[in-house]
Amino acid sequence: MSFYPVFLTRLHENKVVLLGGDEEAERKTAELISFGARVHVISSEITGQMQSWYEDGAFEWTPREYKFGDLEGAGFVVAAEYTNRVAAEAAQEAGKRNLLINVMDNIPLSNSAFGSVVCQGKLTVSFSTNGLAPALAVRLKERFQQELDDAYGEFLALSETIRPAIMETITDGEIRKKKWYDWVDSETITLLREGNREKALDVTESIWGSRIMLRSGLRKNKGFLGYLRDTFRDWLRLEKM
């Protein structure tokens, strides 16, 4: 069986039911909360750290074992600590409700799986070995944590700022696509890594143009004559493409 990689969004809109209260459940609770999930823990006991989070209002807690019907209103289910009965019943209920469920370390009862995740700002990379060698996924995660430094997060922060102006200004999809690759392949990330943000913005402006930089707020208004000059320069740049 092969896994198809997909990312879940809007986890705050439907609760994530997490079964268990041991150290593994604690780790998974922390991960889910960090991504904005609305977590509901069902377990007769939880760790001291989870107790502290619960008292701070980080998640909801039902202090008992899972029973059939507990998954009503859920969008995603994680069984982190469980007996065979709980795992089987939770998987059955999730199936009836068409829910995604991950029964940790039990692929046959799961219809979803977690990868080893590396996050750098808005950049998220996940590694999976289809459940065959989780330790390898962890080692890959550790390796890429060193390679994917803060510069990538800074670059994505710039992308988030400039993207609306790009979409409004450049209507030709092929030109837009080429410029995105030009920008990604430029020295912008290297300059951000070196702490030279102004030079990184200069390179960004040379690719996207002054109008986009102005609309996105990354550059200040240079006045009417400056605007005309930059508009003409941007037009010439587009004509050459």
Q: What's the pLDDT at 217?
A: 93
Which of 46, 24, 53, 36 lies closest to 114, judged by CA? 24
**Res. 192: pLDDT tops 80:** yes
Q: What is the pTM of this model?
A: 0.79
Task: Tell whether the model's pLDDT for residue 233 goes beyond 80.
Answer: no
Q: Give residue 146's pLDDT band: very low, low, confident or very high (50, 70, 90).
A: confident
**Beta-carbon count within 10 A of 190 CB:** 13
In the predicted structure, residue 238 carries a pLDDT above the cut 70? no
Question: pLDDT averaged over the chain?
Answer: 92
